[in-house]
């Protein structure tokens, strides 16, 4: 997992970019997972956990921006 980014416009853009990158990497693990690869399944699980954390960060940033 990557370190948390500082808040702010560039930080939120970076978080969103990180999220897109994680989703792209997760897509590469789908086929091997169906083929029965245990390591691909573990990478996919880690990707899901990472993506969920990034989504929470993006939502929190959106809520902060909506209040101002």
41 lies in a domain?
Answer: yes
Written as six digits, the tokens of 48 are 């899901």
Residue 2 lies in a domain: no
Range of the domain at 30: 13-66
Q: Is residue 24 part of a domain?
A: yes
State how many domains the chain has: 1
The tokens describing 55, both together, are 């989504």
Residue 24, token pair as written in the block: 């792209």
pTM of the model: 0.76
Give CA–CA dist 28/37, Å, rounded: 12
Note whether residue 5 is domain-resident: no
Q: Assess if residue 3 is contained within a domain.
A: no
Q: Within a domain: residue 58?
A: yes
CA atoms within 13 A of residue 52's CA, in its CB half-sphere: 6
Asked whether residue 37 is assigned to any structural domain, the reply reads yes
Q: Of 38, 2, 1, 43, which Cα lies nearest the Cα of 26?
A: 43
Tens place of pLDDT per residue across the chain (68 aa): 444 444 444 566 899 999 999 999 999 999 999 999 999 999 999 999 999 999 999 999 999 999 98
């Amino acid at each position: 997992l990557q370190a948390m980014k500082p808040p702010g416009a560039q930080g939120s853009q970076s978080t969103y970019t990180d999220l897109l990158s994680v989703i792209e990497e997760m897509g590469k693990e789908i086929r091997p997972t169906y083929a029965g690869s245990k390591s691909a399944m573990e990478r996919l699980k880690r990707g899901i956990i990472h993506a969920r954390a990034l989504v929470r960060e993006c939502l929190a940033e959106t809520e902060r921006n909506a209040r101002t």
